[in-house]
Amino acid sequence: MPTAHRIWQRFWFWFKSRKPQKGDLIEFNRGIYEHWAVYVGNGFVVHLTSADSNHSSHGSLGSRRTKKAIVERDKLSDVKQNSTWRVNNSLDGQHDPRDPDRIVRDALKLVGEEQEYNILTSNCEHFAKWLRNGIRVSRQLCME
């Protein structure tokens, strides 16, 4: 009979290695902050990126003092850069996720749109969780 530790190891391996499904939230670990995106299929994500970037940063809004962001569709591998990533649908236990097809359709409709950006109230995590769960929240700020 497997021990609790062994079961946890198996679960953790599955969790870390599973491929994203349409509508999943992708969390990129950038060191001092996390960047968030919505997986829309075929290796692409939709996410907020700086409106004043040259688009080479692929979502590095973390330290910018911008007040505008652009919704972009990019390859997950391009947004990843040198960071690690994982599927993180952590709000699903408290707020039911929307239908994956609806999440993807709504995310793709927003591509190219300029949006207000505020690190405290309207960042990439707020954007991604709003698309999936219908609520704007950012756990990394620990203020909500």
> Which residue numbers are catalytic?
35, 47, 124
Angle between helices 100-110 and 124-133 (to 10 degrees): 140
Alpha carbon 33 to its chain's center: 12
Angle, vertex CA 100, rays to CA 94 and CA 103, nearest 5: 85
Exposure of 1 in the CB half-sphere (CA atoms within 13 A):
1
Other CB atoms within a 10 A radius of the CB of residue 36 amount to 26
Name 120's bridge partners: none
Backbone Cα Rg of the chain:
15
State the Cα–Cα distance between residues 128 and 24, nearest whole angstrom.
9
